[in-house]
């Protein structure tokens, strides 16, 4: 049941947070219906949260018993720069998706990410991004008709214009 | 109309045949894209096929379903990202094979055994539907509750090196599944007074975050590692390999069919239980489980495809969906004026045999497309990871947004992605979290039904469990799984050996 791996950087803090989080959930679960009845809406959440507390305490005890890894570093092995940059980029994507729209946001996201991760030239990143966004747009927006935010792109007008071309009404 | 005539409807009609082929082909790729679930695809299809005749609509949906369950294994093998929860167990041995450059071989075996599993599930549906459904209907609420506990415990015990972390992850999943309004009393649970949490946490957002984003973040650690060139010399596995694993495949197909037939369960649980079964019955695998064992591919893939046929059994005979996809199909049948349930087989047996035939054809198309498309598909793994990873992340975001066209789900996905990343780094298995979310409702509802019917008495519940052979078997299995992963088990057997 116990792992013999050495303690990784940040693991102790993470497990302390798990204990605290589980205790908070147990307190919240107790607040749902207290000890009203075994079939009360809070019964399963309470058992679940209590299980989490017990497990988290056992895990914390095991973590404290293990010796820390000397060769690993938090900034290199747990949160290296590419991970931090990617999390920041996904957050930025989510924030910009509504105001800018799916096409420009996806294009910007892919261009920056491919250029950063693959370290390829800007024109190559742009070309790859355009191709990928076009393919995803075709599959999701046109085939699966998934509605994505249009944002600054007059998407409806462009689609109507393209359809018009095929029906001979385009200018 | 006799059985043979009904079976021939999709075979002799080119339009229906084409729709099954198209559905299977699309299903394979939908299933393979992390974040695009078969459930989502089928639910979107309902709006397309609303005005269609019932046969074409069903043909397309059945194809998507069959192809999608199989398709999830592809990214599980190639990228360690299961395209669907049913492929979680496949990744455990499939990905190590891909890392050794044997992705083509792994996909070939998976395709053939999926076909075998699918065939057995469909044959069982055709032959044993009424008696099996009769067996499933005998399940008491406490049995469903025990089944849910069993499922979570199995995943917790097999997907990590620490049972405690597995149980913690499973409990976390149940807790996440409880968020929102209690469906029985409309009491708020874990909402902390916020409107956003009243509707609950989107399972798809949790799944994409935990499996798509966290895996993407993990792979950033090795983003500049050159891709392993895949050897695709032999795709179709040799008869000797198939024959060697056929006995296990037949066992796990049976497990998959039975699990699939139990309402509320599905291919995901079937695959995990089958994997666990394989680890117990395989004495000397050529390669250890978790390092690329063929048995680790055979068991989950036969089971999850067999579960497709199984899932139709309660749906068609009792009107109870076997899983999420059959729940949507049930809705589709109602939309088309049909009444699935015990009377369907009496009043419209042609519909039952049409579905059996369509499933059989989808299974054949799955084999054909699965074996012929490997070379192109395997090329994905040879793409530079620095280009592939941003695309996977983007697809994950689009998939999360598509659940309900809500940015809220994207934020949930990101949150669970980051949380899942840390869980992974510190050795917590993610499978139990997802399974906990899926089974939360099953567990909660049936616990409350069971305890209410036993007058709120734990003693009465225990007495009822011991008195029922089915409940007792499930209960003892739960205890055995738990004890088998504790030091107590080792002590007992050491003493015996001594």
What pLDDT, in 10s, does the model give residues B149-166?
Answer: 877 776 666 556 688 998
Is residue A171 very low, low, confident or very high in pLDDT (cuts 50, 70, 90)? very low
Q: pLDDT at residue A169 above 60?
A: no
CB burial readout A162-171, b (16+ within 10 A) else e = eeeeeeeeee
Lowest mean pLDDT among B117-131, B205-219, B333-347: B333-347
Residue B132 lies in a domain: yes
Q: Are B442 and B176 in contact (CB under 8 A)?
A: no
pLDDT at res. B322? 64
User: Per-residue confidence at A24, pLDDT binned at 50, 70, 90?
Assistant: very high
pLDDT of residue B381: 61
Residue of B172, B168, B169, B188 lying closest to B180 (CA atoms)? B188
- Residue B49: inside a domain: yes
Q: Which two tokens stand for residue B58?
A: 């069903």
Q: Domain coordinates of chain A in residue numbers?
A: 11-65, 81-155
CA of B238 to nearest chain A CA: how many angstroms apart?
36
How many other CB atoms sit within 10 Å of the CB of residue B457? 12
Dihedral angle at the C-alpha atoms of B490, B493, B496, B498, nearest 10 degrees? -50
- More confident of the two residues A65 and B36: A65
Q: Which residues does B397 contact at the CB level (< 8 Å), separation at least 6?
A: A90, A93, A94, A97, B410, B413
Residue B461 lies in a domain: no
Q: Which of A52, A80, A114 sits opposite B168 (nearest CB)?
A: A52
How many Cβ atoms sit within 10 Å of the Cβ of residue B138? 9
Q: Is residue B171 part of a domain?
A: no
Q: What is the pLDDT of residues B17-64, one digit of tens each?
A: 999 999 999 888 777 766 566 776 776 666 557 667 889 988 998 999
Alpha-carbon distance B264 to B323, whole Å?
A: 5
Worst-scoring range by mean pLDDT, A154-163, B281-290, B460-469?
A154-163
Of B148, B84, B29, which is closest to residue B300 (Cα–Cα)?
Answer: B84
Whether the per-residue pLDDT at A147 is higher than 80: the answer is no
Closest partner residue to B452 (CB to CB) among A39, A48, A110 is: A39
A17 in contact with B, Cβ within 8 Å: no
Task: Specify if B306 maps to a domain.
Answer: yes
Tokens for A146, please give them.
Answer: 């998934």
Q: How confident is the model at residue B493 (pLDDT cuts 50, 70, 90)?
A: low
**B306 vs B381 pLDDT, higher one:** B306
pTM (predicted TM-score): 0.74
| Window A:18-57, CB contacts with B under 8 Å | 18, 25, 28-29, 32-33, 37-39, 41-45, 48-49, 51-52, 55-56
| pLDDT tens column, B96-125 | 888 888 888 888 899 999 999 999 999 999
Average pLDDT for A48-53: 96
The answer to whether residues A135 and A116 touch, using CB atoms and an 8 Å cutoff, is no
Residue B161 lies in a domain: no
Q: What is the ipTM of this complex?
A: 0.91
Burial class (CB in 10 A: 0-12, 13-18, 19+), B309: buried
Residue B439 covered by a domain: no
Above 80 in pLDDT, residue B139?
no
Does residue A63 register a pLDDT over 90? yes
Token pair for residue B250? 């037949």
Q: What is the mean pLDDT of chain B?
A: 83
- Beta bridge pairs of residue B302: none
Rg of the Cα atoms in chain B: 22
Looking at residue B102, what is its pLDDT? 83
Q: Confirm whether B403 is domain-assigned.
A: yes
Q: What's the domain count of chain B?
A: 1
**Tokens (6 digits) for B449:** 């039904």
Q: Kind of pairing, strands B180-181 and B188-189?
A: antiparallel
Alpha-carbon distance B205 to nearest alpha carbon in chain A (angstroms): 14
Contact flag A113-B422 (C-beta cutoff 8 Å): no
Per-residue tokens: B139: 């399940």
Print the domain residue range for B248.
Answer: 3-140+184-424
């Amino acid at each position: 049941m116990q792992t013999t791996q050495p303690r990784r950087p940040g693991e102790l803090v993470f497990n302390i947070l798990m204990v605290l989080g589980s205790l908070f959930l147990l307190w919240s679960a107790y607040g749902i219906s207290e000890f009203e009845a075994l079939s009360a809406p809070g019964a399963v959440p309470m058992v679940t949260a209590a299980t989490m507390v017990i497990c988290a305490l056992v895990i914390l005890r095991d973590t404290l018993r293990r010796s820390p890894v000397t060769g690993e570093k938090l900034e290199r092995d747990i949160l290296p720069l590419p991970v931090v940059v990617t999390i920041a980029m996904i957050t930025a994507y989510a924030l910009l998706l509504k105001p800018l729209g799916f096409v420009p946001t996806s294009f910007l996201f892919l261009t920056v990410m491919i250029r950063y991760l693959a370290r390829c030239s800007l024109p190559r990143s742009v070309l790859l991004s355009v191709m990928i966004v076009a393919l995803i747009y075709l599959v999701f927006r046109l085939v699966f008709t998934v509605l994505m935010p249009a944002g600054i792109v007059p998407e409806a007008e462009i689609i109507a214009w393209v359809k018009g071309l095929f029906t001979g009404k385009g200018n | 109309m006799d059985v043979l005539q009904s079976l021939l409807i999709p075979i002799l009609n080119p339009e229906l045949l084409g729709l099954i082929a198209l559905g299977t082909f699309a299903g394979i790729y939908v299933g393979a894209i992390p974040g695009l679930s078969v459930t989502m695809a089928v639910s979107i299809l309902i709006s397309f096929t609303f005005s269609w005749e019932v046969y074409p609509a069903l043909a397309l949906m059945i194809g998507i379903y069959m192809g999608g369950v199989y398709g999830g294994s592809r990214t599980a093998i190639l990228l360690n990202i299961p395209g669907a929860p049913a492929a979680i167990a496949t990744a455990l041995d499939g990905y190590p094979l891909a890392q050794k450059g044997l992705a083509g071989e792994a996909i070939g075996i998976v395709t053939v055994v999926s076909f075998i599993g699918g065939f057995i599930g469909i044959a069982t549906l055709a032959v044993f539907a009424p008696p099996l459904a009769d067996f499933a209907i005998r399940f008491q609420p406490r049995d469903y509750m025990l089944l849910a506990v069993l499922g979570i415990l199995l995943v917790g015990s097999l997907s990590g090196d620490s049972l405690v972390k597995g149980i913690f992850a499973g409990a976390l999943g149940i807790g996440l599944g409880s968020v929102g309004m209690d469906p029985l009393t409309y009491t708020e649970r874990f909402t902390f007074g916020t409107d956003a949490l009243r509707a609950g946490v989107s399972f798809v957002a949790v799944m994409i975050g935990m499996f798509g984003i966290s895996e993407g973040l993990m792979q950033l650690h090795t983003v500049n590692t050159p891709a392993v060139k895949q050897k695709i010399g032999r795709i179709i596995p040799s008869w000797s390999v198939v024959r060697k694993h056929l006995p296990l495949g037949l066992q796990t197909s049976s497990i998959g069919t039975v699990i699939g037939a139990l309402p509320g369960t599905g291919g995901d649980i079937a695959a995990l239980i089958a994997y666990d079964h394989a680890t117990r019955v395989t004495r000397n695998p050529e390669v250890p489980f978790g390092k690329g064992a063929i048995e680790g591919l055979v068991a989950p893939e036969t089971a999850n495809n067999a579960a497709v046929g199984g899932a139709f059994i309660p749906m068609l005979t009792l009107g109870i969906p076997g899983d999420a996809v059959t729940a949507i199909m049930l809705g589709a049948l109602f939309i088309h004026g049909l009444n699935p349930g015990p009377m369907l087989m009496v009043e419209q047996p042609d519909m039952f045999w049409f579905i059996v035939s369509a499933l059989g054809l989808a299974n054949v198309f799955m084999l054909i497309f699965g074996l012929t498309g490997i070379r192109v598909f395997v090329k994905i793994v040879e793409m530079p990871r620095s280009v592939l990873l941003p695309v996977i992340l983007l697809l994950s975001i689009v998939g999360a947004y598509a659940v309900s066209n809500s940015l809220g789900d994207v934020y949930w996905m990101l949150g669970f992605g980051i949380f899942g990343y840390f869980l992974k780094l510190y050795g917590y298995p993610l499978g139990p979290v997802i399974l906990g979310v899926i089974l939360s409702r099953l567990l909660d509802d049936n616990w409350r039904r069971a305890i209410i019917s036993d007058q709120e008495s734990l003693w009465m519940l225990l007495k009822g469990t011991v008195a029922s052979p089915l409940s007792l078997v499930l209960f003892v299995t739960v205890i055995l799984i738990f004890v088998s992963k504790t030091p107590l088990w080792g002590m007992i057997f050491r003493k015996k050996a001594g």
